[in-house]
Amino acid sequence: MPPLIIKPDKQALPNDTIWQAIWDNVNLGLILVDQTGRVRQWNDWVAKRSGIPAKSAEGHTLESLFQDELNPPFKSALKNSLTHRLPVVLSNALHRSPLPLFPWPVTERQQTRIQQSIAITPLTGGADEHFCLIQITDTSISIKRERVLKLHSEQLSIDANTDALTGAHNRRYFDERYKIEFNRAQRQGTPLSLLMLDIDFFKDYNDNYGHPAGDKVLIAVVAAIKSQLNRATDVVTRYGGEEFAVILPDCEAPENHAMAEKLRRAVSNLNIPHCKSKITGTVTLSIGITTLECDAKCSADRLLETADTALYEAKHAGRNRVNYLGAAE
């Protein structure tokens, strides 16, 4: 890209007053430096964000004007542009704040430099004079907007995978995560345990105490379950109304039985009154367990069916208990 040319024929240009108005009212910083690196002019945008009037800047180098040290890549880029007359762009992605410019109005209080994108363009004037035009764009607002959009997107993703009532992961998340963990277990030859949990006689609880009270029970049960899961990879999901599923990667049969007992006791220890329970006077859990062993030949659907069968057997054996059923059985 050849250097731009400043035409000396001012008859073809608007008068100086209009050019100065344009220069000072564009919404970006403009600094014109000569071939010695001294400022010939900068606009009102730079004056406001540096705290240095344009008249005070003229005839000085950028390094002498700013108390804070200039960004080394910026100094190198300006030198190369002046020497070799090649355009340079310093993107915000790699060079966040090359120049010590601050949000306007600049105050004496400690401020953080604005995020910047800088373009340095070589210019050629009359009498073989060479200049560089430094254009500075404030990218702080767009970066903040991107950050807000990213956080919003992340929150939407969380909301899409979370049960609004209990805070547990929802069925959609279970389906996706279970498939991932099952495939990983088969690929790496590691065990995978699956627990299906059901609150005993929950319909009777709702009928007697009302749905708002039932909602509180669901929230308390999930909190109790979460309190017993120590690994980040252990996942609790709300599988159905009062039914929950827990995925335990890298967990074999003896360990998953111990974990299931911990979950059952944690809910029992809540001592939530349940006068309609046919086994105790409090809210309890029935739990079915199965495990994909390292050398097992079992499909994901089969493993899920086995866990559900184990839960069914636990409920029909008296409830408030843990029942294990091997995936190959």
Which residues are catalytically annotated? Answer: 242
Kindly report each contact of residues 227-232 with a partner whose C-beta sits within 8 Å and lies 24 or more positions away, as own/partner: 227/266, 228/259, 228/262, 228/263, 228/266
C-alpha 303/C-alpha 291 separation (Å) is: 7
Ramachandran region, residue 199 (left: φ > 0; alpha: ψ -120 to 50; beta: rest): beta
User: To which residue do tokens 């373009």 refer?
Assistant: 119
Question: What are the CA-CA distances from residue 98 to residues 69, 117, 142, 209, 304 (Å)?
Answer: 9, 8, 17, 65, 57
> Coil, helix or strand for 243?
strand
User: H helices then E strands: how many in the chain?
Assistant: 11, 11
C-alpha 319/C-alpha 197 separation (Å) is: 11
- Which residues, including other chains, have CB under 8 Å from residue 270's CB and lie 6 or more apart? 220, 221, 224, 282, 283
> Coil, helix or strand for 41?
strand
C-alpha 269/C-alpha 4 separation (Å) is: 79
